[in-house]
């Protein structure tokens, strides 16, 4: 069965798009057939994958509104993974979709005709809870949560896990949290080390062992429209995402945990 993984955190700046692009690239290098869906109107995952967003005629916007087929919107990249690109017009879809039938299932329904072409579908979500994020969570069967080890990290996770639980209960009973990944990690920072330890205590079975470090080459790669593997394969960022991809492939889907105990339902 195709794994559809929503990469989300309601807090911005935690490395969601960086994780989406580089996990797509690393999974492709591991032999998986991968589709990356950009559900953020900013389109950073689109541009960071080398796709000229503003030159496209068909994007996820047209797909969600039913104006074009998903097969016409999917772009094949030189990095061997496919992308369903975003566009700034997607911001308007948040209003337009409310009047459409099955507005929470628009992405799920569109994916039904192409999902079997892929082993893994990654969805890069915007840093907010809106109809686009709900569509992503409704289409997915797993959630991957990037977490920056900083103050208030756990408080933000509490709200996010509650949201996932509501979507699971009301819209998508298949949804589960597959794991949390620490991003932008600097082991020289005492607070980062402390928060990392707290995450291990709260989510012992959900926290990925792989830690994504702060890395200059990783930060530079998007400006060249490349995953970091194509920019500098030997850097620490590349090696971390390759390790994360291998760990993700070994890990089975998890059910949504309790925030307080970290135990399964």
Determine which helix (DSSP H) or strand (DSSP E) holds 183, and give its type and residue range.
strand 177-185
Confidence at residue 159, expressed as pLDDT on a 0 to 100 scale: 85
Find the mean pLDDT for residues 74-94.
Answer: 95
Cα separation, 74 vs 84, whole angstroms: 5
- Whether the pLDDT of residue 35 is over 50: the answer is yes
Give the separation between CA 86 and CA 80, rounded to whole angstroms: 18
Choose the CATH number for 3-250 among 3.40.50.510, 3.40.50.1370, 3.30.365.10, 3.40.50.300: 3.40.50.300
Neighbours of 259 (CB within 10 A): 16
For range 129-140, the mean pLDDT: 96
- Please say whether the beta carbons of 135 and 65 come within 8 A: no
Q: Tell me the pairing of strands 82-84 and 75-76.
A: antiparallel
How far, in Å, CA of 120 to CA of 147, rounded?
Answer: 21
Q: What is the mean pLDDT of residues 238-251?
A: 96
Which two structure tokens, joined as six digits, stand for 13? Answer: 């700046």
Q: Output the pLDDT for position 254.
A: 45
CA distances from residue 29 to 26, 142, 167, 243 in whole angstroms, order as listed: 5, 21, 32, 11
What integer best gives the mean pLDDT of the chain?
92
Output the pTM of the full model.
0.94
Terminus-to-terminus CA distance in the chain, angstroms? 23
The CA distance from 109 to 100, in Å, is 13
- pLDDT for 158 equals 85
**Cβ pair 38, 84 in contact under 8 A:** yes
Domain ranges of the chain: 3-250
- Tens of pLDDT, residue by residue over 252-261, are 644 444 434 3
pLDDT category at 150 given cuts 50, 70, 90 is confident
DSSP string spanning 206-262? TEEEEEEEP-HHHHHGGGGTS-HHHH-TTSHHHHHHHHHHHHHHHPPP-PPBPTTT-
């Amino acid at each position: 069965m195709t794994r559809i993984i929503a990469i989300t955190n309601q807090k911005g700046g935690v490395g969601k798009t960086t994780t989406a692009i580089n996990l797509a690239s690393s999974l492709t290098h591991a032999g998986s057939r991968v589709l990356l869906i950009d559900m953020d109107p900013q389109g950073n995952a689109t541009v960071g994958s080398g796709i000229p967003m503003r030159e496209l005629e068909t994007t996820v916007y047209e797909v969600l509104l039913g104006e074009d087929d998903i097969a016409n919107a999917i772009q094949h990249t030189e990095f061997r993974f496919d992308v369903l690109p975003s566009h700034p017009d997607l911001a308007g879809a948040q209003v337009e979709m409310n009047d459409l039938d099955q507005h929470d299932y628009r992405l799920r329904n569109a994916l039904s005709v192409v999902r079997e072409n892929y082993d893994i579908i990654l969805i890069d979500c915007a840093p907010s809870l809106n109809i686009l994020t709900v569509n992503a969570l409704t289409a997915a069967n797993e959630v991957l949560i990037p977490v920056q080890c900083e103050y208030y990290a756990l408080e933000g996770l509490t709200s996010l896990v509650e949201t996932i639980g509501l979507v699971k209960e009301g819209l998508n009973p298949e949804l589960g949290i597959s794991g949390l990944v620490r991003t932008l990690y600097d082991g020289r920072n005492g607070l980062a080390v402390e928060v990392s330890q707290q995450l291990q205590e709260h989510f012992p079975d959900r926290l990925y062992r792989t830690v994504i470090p702060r890395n200059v080459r990783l930060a530079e790669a998007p400006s060249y429209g490349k995953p970091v593997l194509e920019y500098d394969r030997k850097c620490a960022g590349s090696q971390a995402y390759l390790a994360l991809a291998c760990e993700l492939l070994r890990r089975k889907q998890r059910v949504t945990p309790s925030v307080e105990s970290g135990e399964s339902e």
